[in-house]
Amino acid sequence: MIERLDDSFANVDPQEAYRAALDAGIVVHRIDPLNGETPLEALRDELTPNARFYVRNHFGIPNLDASSWRLHVGGLVQNRLELTLNDLQNIPAHERVATLECAGNGRASLEPQVAGEPWRFGAVSAAQWTGVPLVEVLDRAGIKAQACELVFRGADRGQLHEGGDTIYFERSLSVETARSCGALLAYAMNGEPLPPVHGYPLRVVVPGWYAMASVKWLTEIEAVSRPFTGHYQSDTYFFEAERDGRVVREPARLQRVRSLILEPAPRVQVARGELVVRGVAWSGAAPIVSVEVSVSGGPWQKARCNGQAAPGALTSWEAIVRVDGSGEASLRARATDQTGATQPETPPWNRLGYGNNAVHEVRVQAS
Ligand SMILES: Nc1nc2c(c(=O)[nH]1)N[C@H]1C(S)=C(S)[C@@H](COP(=O)(O)O)O[C@H]1N2
Ligand SMILES: [Mo]
């Protein structure tokens, strides 16, 4: 591990961050560390406003000073790098839209219930990110052939239990994935500097992946010769299943295909007859090819998808359906991506509660 030069920063005041999140309409699950979801109506736009972008933190929010902050690139490299924000901003900038989704999004609807942040459906948001392609920095450093993974280390740290060791939020990617996944070292989000809560001054953005890969407050990239086994790599973020009496683990990687109904909102009164249903869909694996809507268990009807959505963005869709009869009606939406993957009817249960991409249902009252 590279020696830490400056660990002396303070954290953002948790109460202040909490109040700002509340004011913006974030549905807060936990104040410190701050965790909260996007109000679903904020997903109607292709890009989620920064103040309403969901927040997932494991520790306090580092209040980093860009003038003393550095990105260290080391380990199995030809040239160790120590880059300032200015150095990074002097490299030609790239922009791309990417949707971030927490692997635990939808956990709250798993039965039986599982431990972990009780995300409903709003642990997902999309932004346009500006920064330097990760490959550009890897090429400057010259990753040695013996390196198998790159470890991305954030400045945020703390103990898992009282009196335990201090650990950092760290995740790895294989060198191959890091080169091919289109990752950005992002310093801007929707045209503004990253807000402190989203990783100021620099974060990785790994498009299409569940967002634990998109390490915030990035301070180090280390090329290592063995698979990384840090806490957030080995003890969490995998799908656990039992096969032939054996427990098998599959790391969470690409976001599963999913759609959400944004309109009408749950439990609202709607008039019988024609009803406009709107929502968004996304998949980390491939573009969305169709979204279908079903009313009260009836046949699946094709929605109209916005084919213009930027790659990586939320695809908005709209369907005009009929709601006949009065009383409760159920609206369900299901997306399919270009790989043919679609959404299961029932939530795919796993011990840590990841990847719940079950068909989304909204119940309304027709009269
Ligand atoms: N340094 C650091 N990076 C992090 C995390 C963290 O706690 N610390 N949380 C991860 C997880 S689990 C998610 S879902 C996303 C959330 O990003 P956001 O808060 O910008 O929405 O950041 C990821 N990167
Ligand atoms: Mo997450």
Residue 264 and residue 231 share a domain: no
The alpha carbon of 182 and the centre of ligand 2 are apart by a number of angstroms equal to 20
Residue 193 and residue 315 share a domain: no
Domain boundary among 204, 236, 268: 236
Query: Region 107-111: what's the mean pLDDT?
Result: 96
The rounded distance, in Å, linking the Cα atoms of 156 and 365 is 46
Strand bridging mode 149-159 / 166-174: antiparallel
Residue 4 pLDDT class (50, 70, 90 cuts): low
Residue 358 and residue 210 share a domain: no
Residue 214 and residue 289 share a domain: no
Query: Region 279-302: what's the mean pLDDT?
Result: 97
Q: Is 256 in the pocket of ligand 1 (CB under 6 A)?
A: no
Task: Please tell me the total count of domains within the chain.
Answer: 2
Q: Is 55 in the pocket of ligand 1 (CB under 6 A)?
A: yes
Which residue type sits at 275?
L
The alpha carbon of 215 and the centre of ligand 1 are apart by a number of angstroms equal to 6
Residue 362 and residue 229 share a domain: no
The residues, any chain, with a CB within 8 Å of residue 186's CB and separated by 6 or more, are 129, 130, 131, 194, 199, 202, 203, 204, 205
Flag whether pLDDT at 5 surpasses 60: no
Residue 153 and residue 46 share a domain: yes
Render the burial of 324-362: b for 16+ CB within 10 Å, e for the rest. eeeeebebbbbbbbeeebbbeeebbebbbbbbbbbbbeb
Mutate to test the pocket of ligand 1, among 12, 173, 212 (most ligand atoms within 8 A of CB): 212
The rounded distance, in Å, linking the Cα atoms of 151 and 171 is 6
Residue 170 and residue 49 share a domain: yes
Q: Which residue, by CA, sits nearest to atom 6 of ligand 1?
A: 57
Q: Report DSSP letters for 182-217, one per residue.
A: --EEEEEETTEEPPGGGTTT-EEE-TTBBGGGS-SS
Nearest one of 128, 120, 60 to 94, comparing CA atoms: 128
Mean pLDDT of the chain: 96
CATH number at residue 138: 3.90.420.10
Let me know if residue 9 belongs to a domain: no
Helix (H, G, I), strand (E, B) or coil at 259: strand
Query: Region 23-27: what's the mean pLDDT?
Result: 98
Q: Which residue, by CA, sits nearest to atom 19 of ligand 1?
A: 55
Flag whether pLDDT at 135 surpasses 70: yes
Q: For residue 204, what are the domain limits?
A: 14-236
Token pair 């450093």 is found at: 141
